[in-house]
Structure 1
Amino acid sequence: MSIQIVTARWIVTGAQADATPVIHQDAALASRDGVVLEVGPADDIKARYPDAMVTDYPDHLMMPGLVNSHHHLGMTPLQLGAPDYALELWFAARLSMRKIDPYLDTLYSAFEMISSGVTTVQHIQGWATGDFDQVLGAATGVLKAYDAVGMRVSYCYAVREQNRFVYEADEDFCARLPPATGKAMAEHLAAQKMSFADFMALYDALKSGNRNPRARIQLAPANLHWMTDDGLLAMKEKADSEQVPMHMHLLETAYQKEYAFRRTGTSAVRHLEKLGLLGPQLTLGHGVWMTEEDIEICAGTGTCVCHNCSSNFRLRSGQLPLMDLRKRGVVVGLGIDEAGINDDRDMLQEMRMALTVHRVPGMDAADVPNPTQILQMASEHGGLTTAFGAEIGRLDPGRQFDAVLLDYGSATWPYQDPGIAPLDAMIHRAKTRDVHAVMIGGEVVFRDGRFTRIDRAEILDQIAAAMAAPRDEDERHLEWLRGQVFPEVEKFYAGYIRDTAERSPFYKTSSRL
């Protein structure tokens, strides 16, 4: 590929250590073969590469491509028939979700992510039913979709060995149910029981078969309650030998915190530290219910965390102590999880939510995140939680040219005082309609509302046609099963959490008096 130059009114290459942006005005970025060569004054860059192809964006702000650091599926659970509940009840509600082809499903959310500036996604697939070949087929469909749309993906399949429905053994939960329901539930869970060896074989097959340079395959122990200690140790050994990172759900809810104590006699993070799993190559998804000691352990080991702000609100999980993590230097990415607050994958909106919900009462600026820190979470730090690491997340020389162009004039119409920093204005005000172009590896994959590789309208028509069909026999059976087991799940968790001393929140809250 020949050298290309992109100019913009402002180019934000990333964040400095003091949480201020590195921003160039009236600047240009030169790249070759999808890799950044240099960024500087537009006239200087053009003079240095006189034969380069130049694309000008005179009223735009360019910033690093965004990274959705935690994602699972395409159409949302709500779309497919599962309303929001507290997480543990929500798993039961998801039994009645409609089925959809993984290729079409993945494209659906890829369209939403890219059109909001996301260039890389951490896709954690799981919960597919069937034997090894069927699960491999589902995984292949997901990867095929990202290849088709041109999106960068760090892919992993969530390994689950046990406790697939509630926080106890499958057979024990099924024994709680009436005989007919217990038999049906056992059969459903049996369809999700790949052996641990098959999970590792799945990773090997996907990695060896991957021909897409924008896809990386990594590992994902699903959560502490879903894994045995032996399984965790085996996955750590595999990850180290393959030199790939792992992404693990942990401490999403108070019930998971209680499970960890019942199982280990200590906190989930302390247990993982004892097993030797913690470090920069492990990302903990959610982490809402970490203790202060847990945060210090993460900081000391360099373990990463992914903040799923919308998901934590929607599923009543709690609020991540974000600034306590950041003040200790923990790398924190930003993920949308199943869906954002508007039941979509709008990363610009997710960034605003993370910016505002942590604005606790008081006047010390260090107690709350600023727009540059939020951008860093959604780009550089998000990249560090994926298999691409430091190759992405900034627009520095040697990094991948993944970028989003925001139309400043459109986002700020009819007026924006110039005393407000342009990046701050964009983090607060830019909407998906203001995303003018998205580049991945130097390739424009989205421009002026259209995808360059694939026809979005055609794919959405295919999805609409497929979902217009009535529920099939299997879907009707699972809808019935949901109705039978949901009350039993409620009973299981009633009184699950021990009475303990008063819990003091990390954040200041409104006072009673």
Structure 2
Amino acid sequence: MSAQIITARWIVTGTDDDGQTRTLDDAALVHDAGAILAVGPADEIRQAYPQAQVTSYPRHLIMPGLVNAHHHIGLTPLQMGAPDSPLEHWFAARLAMRKIDPYLDTLYSAFEMIASGVTTVQHIQGWAVGNIDAVTGSAEEVLRAYDDIGMRVSYCYSVREQNRFVYEADEAFCNRLPPEVGRAMAAHLARVTMPFDDFMALFDRLMETRRSARARIQLAPANLHWMTDDGLLAMQEKSAAAGVPMHMHLLETAYQKEYAFRRTGTTAVRHLERLGLLGPHMTLGHGVWMTEEDVEICAGTGTCICHNCSSNLRLRSGVLPLMALVQRGMTVGLGIDEAGINDDRDMLQEMRMALNLHRFPGMDPADVPSPGQILRMATEHGARTTAFGAEIGRLEPGRRLDAVVFDYDRATYPYQDPDIAPADALIHRAKSKDVHQVIVEGEVILEDGRFIRIDRDAVLTRIAEALSQPRDEDEVNRHSLRDAVFPTVKAFYDGYLRKTADRTPFYKTSSRR
């Protein structure tokens, strides 16, 4: 046995059901090979394990590692040439994005996530070019990047069967375009299209070849408009057989709500319930445009939701009715999606965004999220949306040791009144500079801004050199294609929403009269 003890001024083991953080003063935890054996008062832990090596953090607060429960790419769309737009236009804008090696790209965002305390990420890859061998190679490079840097990843590849560009069949959209542009668009879509059976074979390959204990593979039906009912049912069967969860974008925008009604005559959530897809194994990413009945259905089935706060604001998608979910005891994770409000992957900032966005007018504190509830979203609940489940997310015996060590004195200098709970103070104030260490599976992978396994500057230099080169022929063609198809995309959505649709909000944040 090679038990090791960590002592700290405070250890936050997690959040209680009432939204209060559970914090131990002058505490310690003992772990062995990444498994937490015990947590409690420092003196008691030292006495129980007298031979264990002790590492002390006298001015620090330790909390569970943060979980980014919804992530896609490394360099942001804005960095790569796609300005923020309404989501349905944004897909067209992204046609002109530069290409980057998936290994380097993954490391780029991993640097940002880890620096802000993220130990686990739900990585949802998509739009890789080529056949199954090419897509498998891209997926393996993503997984290799996380393995090399030491981060925990729950990986899935978005399955898209149809309607890849707008909310109608690919062929129908291409027919809307001038003939030459339509042919170019069809050729582009063909390059990012795989048969459904190949998507399932990709999952099987990755399950068979995964080598790192810090990586898990799961499934991702991309969205209702991207999937047929037969495809959804096949993925549900695969999920049950393999014992893995699924993560599905749903109801990100009002246009997706309208698409679901046109296709099914009901809501997207009700349709998924009828197909038997809902349950604790399913996470719905975004969920902004759920109806009150949808929320009740998700709560009743134990379906998880991932709140992508910054993304919803940046792309004009709307605001998730978070408190309607929290008050029903639902599992809600927190994701940064393509990029946070500062065009980066700062989970501390994302937590504050979610904490403050939902502070709508009123006096009852139960109507708005508490710092502890936000912490639970970013740790335990986020973990439940991944394939790691209850193995992580809290600092308790039997769980894996993924943790963030904050320099509390540095974060609160020159003063912090002790009436404020220390975890609450950090959720309001901590920044990446205050992260002293990030620990995954008992291993320190970041210390005072220095990545232990990877030379960050060398990776950024390689990215800068690659993107300093002129656009290649494919990039030039996609840049031109974006400009050619954009007017048709905009025209497609003109008048798409029914004038009679009820959009009564959950939150009332202003008054016209």
How many Å separate the matches in 2 of 1:17 and 1:322? 16
Name the residue aligned to 1:505. Answer: 505
1:298 aligns with 2:322: no
1:174 Cα offset (Å):
0.2
Confirm whether residue 316 of structure 1 aligns to residue 321 of structure 2. Answer: no
CA-CA distance at 1:501 after TM superposition: 5.0
Give 3-state SS (helix, strand or coil) of 1:128's partner: coil
Deviation at 1:502, TM superposition (A): 5.0
Cα separation, 1, equivalents of 2:233 and 2:502: 35
Q: Which residue of 2 aligns with 1:204?
A: 204
Structure 2 Cα separation of the partners of residues 400 and 21 of structure 1: 19
- Please give the alpha-carbon distance, in whole angstroms, between the structure 1 residues aligned to 2:4 and 2:233: 46
1:380 aligns with 2:380: yes
The reply to whether residue 213 of structure 1 matches residue 209 of structure 2 is: no
Q: Which residue of structure 1 aligns with residue 222 of structure 2?
A: 222
Q: Name the counterpart of 1:258.
A: 258
The aligned counterpart of 1:271 is: 271
The aligned runs of 1:31-42 (5 Å cut-off) are 31-42=31-42
- CA shift digits 1:277-305 (9 cap, x unpaired): 00000000000000000000000000000
Q: Which residue identity is paired with 1:228?
A: T
Summarize deviations over 1:418-451 as a string: whole Å, max 9, x none: 1111011000000000000000000000001101
TM-score, normalised to structure 1, is 0.99
Paired AA for residue 380 in structure 2: E
Q: Which amino acid aligns with 1:146?
A: Y
Taking the TM superposition and a 5 Å limit, the aligned residue runs for 1:138-217 are: 138-217=138-217
Q: Distance in 1 between matches of 2:312 and 2:466?
A: 31
CA distance in 2, matches of 1:18, 1:356: 19
Mapped partners of 1:110, 1:51: distance in 2: 36
Q: Hey, which bits of structure 1, 4+ residues long, moved more than 3 A?
A: none
Q: Match of 2:51?
A: 51
Q: What is the CA distance between 1:44 and its match in structure 2?
A: 1.3
Could you tell me which residue of structure 2 aligns to residue 494 of structure 1?
Answer: 494
Q: State the AA in 2 paired with 1:195.
A: P
Residues 1:79 and 2:111 are matched in the alignment: no
Q: CA deviation at 1:512?
A: 2.1
User: Deviations 1:156-206 (Å, cap 9, x if unpaired)?
Assistant: 000000000000000000000001100000000011111011000000001
Letter in 1 for 2:194: M
Which segment drifts farther, 412-421 or 255-264? 412-421
Residue 483 of structure 1 corresponds to: 483
| Cα shift at 1:393 | 0.3
Query: Which residue pairs with 2:391 in the alignment?
Result: 391
- In structure 1, the residue matched to 2:347 is 347
- Corresponding residue for residue 408 of structure 2: 408
The amino acid of 1:264's aligned partner reads T
Q: Note the alpha carbon deviations across 1:72-118, whole angstroms, 9 max, x for none.
A: 00000000010000000000000000000000000000000001000
Instruction: Tell me: CA distance 1:464–1:11, structure 2 relative to 1, closer, same or farther (3 Å).
Output: same
Q: Give, in whole Å, the separation in 1 of the partners of 2:503 and 2:373.
A: 29
Q: Secondary structure at the match of 2:397?
A: coil
The CA deviation at 1:509 is: 1.5
Distance in structure 2 (CA, Å) of the matches to 1:239 and 1:126: 19
Query: For structure 1, which segment, 100-109 or 131-140, has the greater mean C-alpha deviation from structure 2 after superposition?
Result: 131-140
User: Aligned equivalents of 1:503 and 1:108: distance in 2?
Assistant: 39
d(CA) in 2 for partners of 1:501, 1:13: 45
Identity %: 72
Whichever residue aligns with residue 377 of structure 1, its letter is: M
CA distance in 2, matches of 1:494, 1:418: 55
Secondary structure of the structure 1 residue equivalent to 2:374: helix
CA distance in 2, matches of 1:98, 1:502: 40
Code of the residue aligned with 2:130 in structure 1: it is G
Paired with 2:97 and 2:503, the residues of 1 have a C-alpha distance of 36
Q: Which amino acid aligns with 2:19?
A: A
Q: Secondary structure at the match of 2:283?
A: strand
Secondary structure of the 2:395 match is coil
Q: State the AA in 2 paired with 1:324.
A: A
Q: CA deviation at 1:352?
A: 0.2
Structure 2 Cα separation of the partners of residues 357 and 397 of structure 1: 34
Q: What secondary structure does 2:27 align onto?
A: strand
Secondary structure of 2:155 counterpart:
strand
CA deviation string 1:196-255 (max 9, x = no partner): 110000000011000100000000000000000000000000000000000000000000
Q: What is the deviation of 1:22?
A: 1.1
* Counterpart residue number, 1:129: 129
Instruction: Output the CA distance in 1 between the equivalents of 2:250 and 2:395.
Output: 31
Paired AA for residue 302 in structure 1: G
- 1: CA distance, partners of 2:407 / 2:88: 42
Letter in 1 for 2:338: E
Q: How many angstroms apart in 2 are the aligned matches of 1:415 and 1:228?
A: 57
Q: 1:503 Cα shift?
A: 2.4
Residue correspondences, number: 513
- Long gaps (5+) in structure 1: none
Q: Are the structure 2 counterparts of residues 474 and 16 from structure 1 closer, same or farther at C-alpha, using a change threshold of 3 Å?
A: same
Deviations 1:376-429 (A, max 9, x none): 000000000000000010001000100001111111011111111101100000
In 2: Cα distance, 1:124 partner to 1:503 partner? 30
Q: Is residue 114 of structure 1 aligned with residue 114 of structure 2?
A: yes
Quick check: 1:234 aligned with 2:234?
yes
Distance 2:213 2:509 in 1: 47
Q: Deviations over 1:324-358 (max 9, x none)?
A: 01111110000000000000000000000000000
CA distance in 2, matches of 1:335, 1:161: 25
